[in-house]
Amino acid sequence: MPFGLNHAPQMYQRLVDNVLYGFLKISRSGDLGSTMDVFQAGPADDPDRPSVFERRSYIDDIMVATESWGQMCQTVEDLLEAYEKWNLSISVRKSFWGMSKVDYLGHRVSTEGLEANPEELK
């Protein structure tokens, strides 16, 4: 890793952003087209580009919200395909699928919105 491990989190975040932004460009026909490094055209939070799943990932934490179970299954399938194409893996033991309420980055996220994590308030 160039410049030592100090830059590992930023480099991994960039890799995940590239996977997810490229994921948005993968067509259903299987034609991958060109997977562009999103940082060639500017920062990832460029207002002209859509955000990742309407959200950003944080290092290895990715949260996807959908309206239905079928939509969630399709989104997860697409996500897993994108990870496979980039030769990345996801730990099934550390993953949560189809949850109505989840602790994410120190907050509890649900269909009602964002609230403080009760464990953090103790």
First to last CA, the chain: 40
How is residue 20 written in tokens? Answer: 């997810």
Q: Is residue 16 part of a domain?
A: yes
Tens of pLDDT along the chain (122 residues)?
666 778 788 888 878 877 777 655 544 554 455 555 544 544 444 445 554 455 567 787 888 888 889 988 888 888 888 888 888 888 889 888 888 888 888 888 888 888 888 888 87
Backbone angles phi, psi at 121, to 5 degrees: -85, -10
Q: Is residue 108 part of a domain?
A: no
Q: Which domain holds residue 60?
A: 5-95
Q: Is residue 115 part of a domain?
A: no
Q: Residue 13: enclosing H or E segment and its boundaries?
A: helix 8-25
State the total domains in the chain: 1
Cα-to-chain-centroid distance, residue 30: 20
Q: Is residue 18 part of a domain?
A: yes
Q: Is residue 110 part of a domain?
A: no
Rounded Cα distance between 13 and 47, Å, is 19
